[in-house]
Amino acid sequence: MLSSLSSPVRQYLIITGNYWAFTLTDGALRMLVVLYFHQLGYSPLQVASLFLFYEIFGVVTNLVGGWLGARIGLNRTMQLGLMLQVFALAMLSVPAAWLSVIWVMAAQALSGIAKDLNKMSAKSSIKLLVPAEQQGSLYRWVAALTGSKNALKGLGFFLGGVLLSIIGFRSSVLVMAIALLAIWAVSLVLLRQDLGKTRFTPKFKDLLSKSKAINQLSAARLFLFAARDVWFVIALPVYLSAQLQWNFWQVGGFMAAWVIGYGIVQALTPLATSVRSVHVPTGNTAARWATLLAMIPIAMALFLHWQHSPTLVLMTGLAIFGIVFAVNSTIHSYLIVSYANQEGVSLDVGFYYMANAMGRLLGTVFSGWVFQWGGIVPCLTLSGVFVVLAAVLAPRTVRAK
């Protein structure tokens, strides 16, 4: 069936399938670690600390990974990411007595490197598979990849909760490691090895030398994702488990439903924003949608402060937040792929996702710290502040190349 398709479409489908498989294990691992170590008695801040290396190494990986992709090819960096994730899962399959904080942080560091190598490679590859004059097609392809990835990440959250309930932590990570190893073997055969490899040798200064539009968009992305993770990563699952007394299935199911819905909206964003080949998002579009998004967590914080039903406020508010955030994220994802230079695209995309990783790091740390200090309301308030900063920092009037 694949052989009957054009080469760009065939590569796009293989890259997307590779990305899906990785994302499923990444989401499941995130939920397994949060719920398992919370069950062991770790505080929210201690649970957050387990992800510090994951996020810190993600920052470095996006920067260096873009350079690496330009030198050896994007599909090789994608395969490297898959193999590192297998190693990370294998590290967590050791007996429970060996799972010290340092050991888990080291495994999460490998997982963070793996995730960002895989994501940078997948996002950069699309730029090279779509003709430069077909911006509408590029927008739709980016939206489809990003949306489907997040839907699979949501399914991974649910899978993590279910696996923890049924077969336990150690067996869960072993099963995922074996499945991912099989995907890696298939990708070695089917993926082109030269995609994204530059004709020139990129220098270190090329990692940081960016256009004003890319710098602004990257800064906006940092605060956009800090705004999500400041309540989503640690505060929300711990709040649902500890305060609302939800079990693992319920927490994993809700987190999964939210991310799956978020992914579906991302995939449909080109329809929602009425994209045509001559009408694609600009920096102004990103600023307007961020302004709308900022109102939602602030309103949620006020309703919770006024002691409205926490379940009603969270379920309703987070559904609305997810829809608007999905549109914001897809617009950003399209803009960076479109702004990036055709030659050495991974350098620009890697720099941008370095800022994304810094935002996740900021959000993760504040999610554990602020929640432990003041609960869910300060987390939501800070989320609103971060989104306002994302709106202010978004590039103005810049059109894609």
DSSP letters for 331-389: HHHHHHHHHS-STTHHHHHHHHHHHHHHHHHHHHHHHHHHHHHH-HHHHHHHHHHHHHH
Confirm whether 152 is domain-assigned. Answer: yes
Crossing angle of helices 135-166 and 7-39, rounded to 10°: 30
Nearest 5°: CA angle at 42, between 39 and 48? 110
At 213, the amino acid letter reads A
Do 338 and 135 form a contact (C-beta atoms < 8 A)?
Answer: yes
Confirm whether 333 is domain-assigned. Answer: yes
pLDDT at position 355: 86
Confirm whether 193 is domain-assigned. Answer: yes
Q: Give every CB contact of residue 333 below 8 A, 6+ residues apart in sequence.
A: 123, 142, 143, 146
pLDDT at position 188: 78
CA distance 174 to 149: 22
Partner residues linked to 279 by β-bridges: 276
Into how many domains does the chain fold?
1
Nearest 5°: CA angle at 120, between 346 and 201? 25
pLDDT at position 399: 52
Do 272 and 327 form a contact (C-beta atoms < 8 A)?
Answer: yes
Q: Which helix (H) or strand (E) holds 311?
A: helix 310-339
Partner residues linked to 276 by β-bridges: 279
What SS3 state is found at 26? Answer: helix
Confirm whether 290 is domain-assigned. Answer: yes
CA distance 91 to 81: 15
**Residue 172 main-chain phi, psi, to 5 deg:** -65, -45
Q: Which helix (H) or strand (E) holds 330?
A: helix 310-339
Confirm whether 77 is domain-assigned. Answer: yes
Do 157 and 30 form a contact (C-beta atoms < 8 A)?
Answer: yes
Confirm whether 61 is domain-assigned. Answer: yes
Nearest 5°: CA angle at 229, between 83 and 364? 70
Confirm whether 398 is domain-assigned. Answer: no
CA distance 337 to 120: 11
> CA nearest 168: which of 108, 92, 246?
92
The whole-angstrom distance between residue 227's C-alpha and the CA centroid of its chain comes to: 13
> CA nearest 297: which of 369, 350, 235?
235
Q: Give every CB contact of residue 179 below 8 A, 6+ residues apart in sequence.
A: 21, 25
Range of the domain at 358: 2-393
Longest Cα–Cα distance in the chain: 61
Block means of pLDDT (10 residues each) for the chain, 401 residues, are 58 74 86 82 76 79 71 75 89 83 86 81 66 66 73 82 85 90 81 55 58 85 92 82 78 79 79 58 85 94 88 89 89 80 67 84 85 88 94 72 47
> CA nearest 25: which of 74, 93, 99?
93
Query: With 0-12 CB in 10 A as exposed, 13-18 as middle and 19+ as buried, what is 8?
Result: middle
Do 394 and 293 form a contact (C-beta atoms < 8 A)?
Answer: no
pLDDT at position 142: 74
Query: With 0-12 CB in 10 A as exposed, 13-18 as middle and 19+ as buried, what is 274?
Result: exposed
pLDDT at position 292: 94
Q: 58-82: per-residue pLDDT in tens?
A: 777 877 766 676 667 667 777 888 8
Confirm whether 16 is domain-assigned. Answer: yes
Do 110 and 67 form a contact (C-beta atoms < 8 A)?
Answer: no
* CATH number of domain containing 123: 1.20.1250.20
pLDDT at position 378: 92
CA distance 242 to 209: 46
DSSP H helical ranges for 234-309: 235-242, 248-272, 283-305
pLDDT at position 145: 73
CA distance 17 to 20: 5
